[in-house]
Structure 1
Amino acid sequence: MTKESSMQSSPSPAVLDRPEPIRGIRSVAMVATLILTVVAFQLNSSMITPALPDISKQLGAPMDAVSQVSSLFFLAGAVGGIILARWSDFIGRKRALLIVLGLIALGTVLCIISPNLTVLLIGRVLQGASSAAFQISYVILAETLPVAVFPTVLGVLTAINGGVGGVDGWIGGLLADAFGFRALFVVILVVAVLAIVCVALAVPRDGAPSSTGRMDWWGAAALSIGLICLTYFVSTGSGQGWFAPLTLVFLAGTIAAFLAFAAIEKRRTTPLVAVQHLRSRQVWPVLAVTVLTLSSVFTVINFTIVILSQDQAVGYGMNASTSALMYLTPPALIGLAAAPLSGWLAGRFGWIPMLRVGMVLSIAALVVTAVFPFSQWTVFAMFVVLGISYNGVVLTTTNGLGVLQSPSEAPAILPSMNSTGFGFGASLGIAIVAPFVVTGSYTLALWISVGISVLAFVASLFLQPKPAGRPTA
């Protein structure tokens, strides 16, 4: 590979307007703190999944309603991710992280004391809104660490996107079986409080803002309404029919909100998301791959197979802890080892080629899973593959591209939109397949996920690298 082609396939974090890199014990303490920060958020995602049946039982709610514990969490992440990550360009990364962790702590307290599903869902929305923890942490890494270290360390943080080494899902299942779902939130609260203390001590003080001007709150409101309406349009359409009155109301709301968003952004000097960036092949394919991959692969791992494995009638009939140990722990644990290596390989051979390799392997694993969904050991083997291809390669490269492809004048723009893509994609995928999963149509749900993953690969073919050396703001 020539030097020129390597630059085209692997844009450098050096293009960001960054201070002198920190090194030594300060960098180790900061990286450890950022790991703890993203763990505090990720526990709310992967640790809760095995407890969904117990939540349904203890709160007396049907499983289709309990599915909102996950879908609303990720929908809130779609909305809160872009707002909080972009806001960090104006108020500083450290201050934004402290706000994020405060939301996690407040939402977790509500989940612990929740007397019914409604209060629990409010707590989950607050927890989900803190998804910007990942994207803000990625930008901090790119702005503060030496360039050569960035890809590998980013891979470490990305590995947590698939679960905390797989241990969290297993422990979540054990706690749910032994003490009920509230015990999980007690653990999460302890981690969140510890993370707040560490961020206050170890993350560098905020310097000059990355963006001048003011935060575009009107654009944030319009985009939030559009994402919410779009999610409920898909969910209602798949459940009640695509021409049902309520479905059409959500469709109209989606169109109106996004049109309003485009009109607002054209008039702002510091827009939430500049419209010209959304049209760029350096930006929209990254977002499309993120949304479609989360809608497919993540949904299979963290929802469809979890419910199938605990189905006493047609599934594997496992309890929560065994289900987590079989199907949540292996891909997360393997991803924890594969992600740093994937980051190193992407920095060496190109982020975009590595993304496409990971997508092809993930699609192949999903196809085998859809062909043999009731063979629990075949599914287990495919989840091992997904630990490498999805948790290791795809998550690392999409997060890396989210930082490296971001416009230089607004470093958190694409990471924040990518955060929205993660939350929105996970919420959308669960909303699409939930009507089929709750009725026992697991095979159909899996094939739908396969189709969505193919669309994600097609989107990756349109991706163009950001030119290296673009002037900073």
Structure 2
Amino acid sequence: MSKATSAGIPRSGLVVGVLASAGIAASITQTMVTPLIPQLPTIFNTSASNTAWIITATLLAAAVAVPISGRLGDLFGKRRMILILAMPLMLGAIVCAMAPTVEVMIIGRAMQGLGSGMVPLGIAMLRDLVPKERLSSAIATVSATLGVGGAIGMPIAAAVVEFANWRALFFGSAVVTLIVVAAIWKFIPTLSAGAAGQRFDWLGAIGLTIGLVSLMLAVSKGSSWGWTDPLTLGLFALAVISLLLWGMWETRTKDPLVDLRTAVIPRVLLTNIASIFVGFGMYASMLVMPQILQMPAETGYGLGQSILAAGLWMAPAGLMMLVLALLGGRLSDARGPKFTLVLGVAVIALGYGVGLLGMGSTWGLLATGLVVNSGVALAYGAMPAIIMGAVPRSETAAANGFNTLMRSLGTTAGAAVVGLVLAQMTTDFHGVPIPSEAGFRMALILGAGISLLAAVMAACIPAAAKKKSATATSVPLDVAAQKEPALTK
């Protein structure tokens, strides 16, 4: 960052703290509903298949919001878009808190899903606000908020569900978001947009929305509808056709929503592909561990923990991400983010090995979570650093949002595949089919295998291009001459 652009910018520590708080607020909303899932059919007097849409709506809204809000951030300013996204996050919480029916609850959760775009936008802002020597650690710290939010959200939500009215969860979420908005308004400066003057690709946004919604609906609901059901197959077909047409349009339009010419740069392309595998590998543990912790001890492999106790056992693993983020940033500075990414996914695979040995005890699962999330912290901090070092500043938010979308696709696929494994490998418990010990072990083996594939993919990422001079910016050589965004007067 040049001296001219740094005038008036707050201390980097304050910037990172505020943007990290925004990430925590957004990620808490993703996990805080988890302890409510078994109670939702009773709360709204409806079927479990209907209440499942409360989760699905959040995933769909997030998938659409992340890439589109990233491009809007490049066009109109990242700070402005973060503040705009905070509004549905806050209003959606209020809608959920007052929801009289499941339909209203689904609408509220969809609104909250739109707030997921805050995290990649916050990471992209760091490139404009933080000195180069602190950038890697700052990126890793804000990326770690995805795990920290889950670590905080799960036990707090479980405690509220157990000891208070569930609606307090959402009122509390609205208050937290309001505090974050005030902090961003007060401490984060307004920067000129990197792609100001370009047009927004509405046709591209519509095409991507149709493709993503079709794909994620088919993946997330295929197990319940049936993978060969005409609706599932029709959605897969619509997704393929829509995304192919979208890709053709994006390569021909002047100002694309996602510049696919940049996206096919080997360093960017392989990072995005690796992100899908990382998302899969990370989410497998999040599905397996809570179930084993809460399953009755009479099964012989369940640990019989309450919802609150399970959340508390998992909390240190989430907090570990924040601790490892600082180490990951320093490691990226010393060896490069590619090295950190390869190491991170290798550690995730090692964590699943620990899980196979220690799934019979709470301490064993705690160790599993600590190791897996250590790897996630390293990987999640490295991926945005690789992406932002390979794209022009005018595409920072859009490229980072697209990378976040790839991770989300990986987690959705992970949920579908692991869910299918656990649904097929069951045992009878008092007349009720439940996932078997062999099913859980197979899920852990899958997580390890996918993580190893991610490590191989990450190892194939080309090295960063060398700078022309010691004063060159962190952007690639062909865009290093572009002007940095400056503070608006």
Q: TM-score, normalised by structure 2?
A: 0.85
**Alignment partner, residue 472 of structure 2:** none
Deviation of 1:83 (Å) = 0.4
**Alignment partner, residue 359 of structure 1:** 345
C-alpha distance after superposition, 1:387-407 (max 9, x if no partner): 3222x2111112322322334
145 and 309 in structure 1: CA distance in 2 versus 1, 3 angstrom threshold = same
Instruction: Specify which of 295, 305, 310 is matched with residue 294 of structure 2.
Output: 310
**Alignment partner, residue 338 of structure 1:** 324
Matches of 1:22 and 1:366, distance apart in 2: 47
- Deviates further, 269-278 or 21-30: 21-30
- Deviates further, 280-289 or 405-414: 405-414
**1:187 and 2:172 correspond:** yes
304 and 51 in structure 1: CA distance in 2 versus 1, 3 angstrom threshold = farther
**Alignment partner, residue 102 of structure 1:** 87
Deviation of 1:416 (Å) = 1.3
**1:399 and 2:399 correspond:** no
- Deviates further, 276-285 or 426-435: 426-435
1:22-171 to 2 correspondences below 5 Å: 25-60=10-45, 66-164=51-149, 166-171=151-156
Deviation of 1:26 (Å) = 4.7
Q: Counterpart of 1:148 in 2: which secondary structure?
A: helix
Deviation of 1:256 (Å) = 0.9
Matches of 1:231 and 1:98, distance apart in 2: 27
Letter in 1 for 2:445: W
178 and 61 in structure 1: CA distance in 2 versus 1, 3 angstrom threshold = farther
Matches of 1:24 and 1:256, distance apart in 2: 46
Letter in 2 for 1:326: W
Matches of 2:396 and 2:222, distance apart in 1: 36
Instruction: Specify which of 432, 437, 462 is matched with residue 460 of structure 2.
Output: 462
Matches of 2:106 and 2:443, distance apart in 1: 25
Deviation of 1:331 (Å) = 1.0
Matches of 2:95 and 2:244, distance apart in 1: 35
Matches of 2:150 and 2:72, distance apart in 1: 30
Letter in 2 for 1:454: L
Aligned length: 455
**Alignment partner, residue 446 of structure 1:** 444
- Deviates further, 307-316 or 196-205: 307-316
Matches of 1:211 and 1:200, distance apart in 2: 21
**1:382 and 2:368 correspond:** yes
Matches of 1:56 and 1:451, distance apart in 2: 35
Matches of 1:417 and 1:339, distance apart in 2: 22
**Alignment partner, residue 308 of structure 2:** 321
Instruction: Specify which of 384, 393, 416 is matched with residue 401 of structure 2.
Output: 416
Q: Counterpart of 2:104 in 1: which secondary structure?
A: helix
Q: Counterpart of 1:283 in 2: which secondary structure?
A: helix
Q: TM-score, normalised by structure 1?
A: 0.88
**Alignment partner, residue 267 of structure 1:** 252
Deviation of 1:452 (Å) = 2.9
C-alpha distance after superposition, 1:253-286 (max 9, x if no partner): 1111111101211221110112222322111222
Query: Could you say which structure has the greater relative contact order, defined with CA pairs below 8 angstroms and 6 or more residues apart?
Result: 1
**Structure 1: gaps of 5 or more residues:** 1-13
Deviation of 1:37 (Å) = 1.5
Instruction: Specify which of 237, 250, 260 is matched with residue 252 of structure 1.
Output: 237
Matches of 1:428 and 1:229, distance apart in 2: 14
- Deviates further, 82-91 or 379-388: 379-388
24 and 85 in structure 1: CA distance in 2 versus 1, 3 angstrom threshold = closer
Is residue 31–residue 150 contact of structure 2 (8 Å, CA) maintained in 1?
Answer: no
Matches of 1:407 and 1:388, distance apart in 2: 30
Q: Counterpart of 1:114 in 2: which secondary structure?
A: coil
Letter in 2 for 1:346: S
Letter in 2 for 1:104: L
Letter in 1 for 2:163: A
C-alpha distance after superposition, 1:168-223 (max 9, x if no partner): 32222211211143222121100111112222222112325434311112112211
Is residue 341–residue 382 contact of structure 2 (8 Å, CA) maintained in 1?
Answer: yes
1:202-241 to 2 correspondences below 5 Å: 202-241=187-226
369 and 272 in structure 1: CA distance in 2 versus 1, 3 angstrom threshold = same
Is residue 86–residue 177 contact of structure 2 (8 Å, CA) maintained in 1?
Answer: yes
Q: Counterpart of 1:267 in 2: which secondary structure?
A: coil
Deviation of 1:234 (Å) = 2.5
- Deviates further, 345-354 or 202-211: 202-211
Letter in 2 for 1:101: A
Deviation of 1:49 (Å) = 2.7
227 and 458 in structure 1: CA distance in 2 versus 1, 3 angstrom threshold = farther
87 and 466 in structure 1: CA distance in 2 versus 1, 3 angstrom threshold = farther
Matches of 2:223 and 2:150, distance apart in 1: 34
Q: Counterpart of 2:191 in 1: which secondary structure?
A: coil
Letter in 2 for 1:366: Y
C-alpha distance after superposition, 1:128-169 (max 9, x if no partner): 222121111112111121111111222221221112483332
Deviation of 1:99 (Å) = 0.8
Is residue 194–residue 395 contact of structure 2 (8 Å, CA) maintained in 1?
Answer: no
Q: Counterpart of 1:324 in 2: which secondary structure?
A: helix
Q: Counterpart of 1:214 in 2: which secondary structure?
A: coil
**Alignment partner, residue 7 of structure 1:** none
Letter in 2 for 1:360: A
Deviation of 1:445 (Å) = 3.5
Matches of 1:388 and 1:146, distance apart in 2: 25
Q: Counterpart of 1:166 in 2: which secondary structure?
A: helix
Matches of 1:63 and 1:317, distance apart in 2: 23
208 and 457 in structure 1: CA distance in 2 versus 1, 3 angstrom threshold = closer
- Deviates further, 130-139 or 424-433: 424-433
103 and 18 in structure 1: CA distance in 2 versus 1, 3 angstrom threshold = farther
Q: CA RMSD in A?
A: 2.6
Is residue 330–residue 384 contact of structure 1 (8 Å, CA) maintained in 2?
Answer: yes
- Deviates further, 94-103 or 206-215: 206-215
Highest CA radius of gyration, 1 or 2?
A: 2
Matches of 1:251 and 1:164, distance apart in 2: 32
Letter in 2 for 1:318: Q
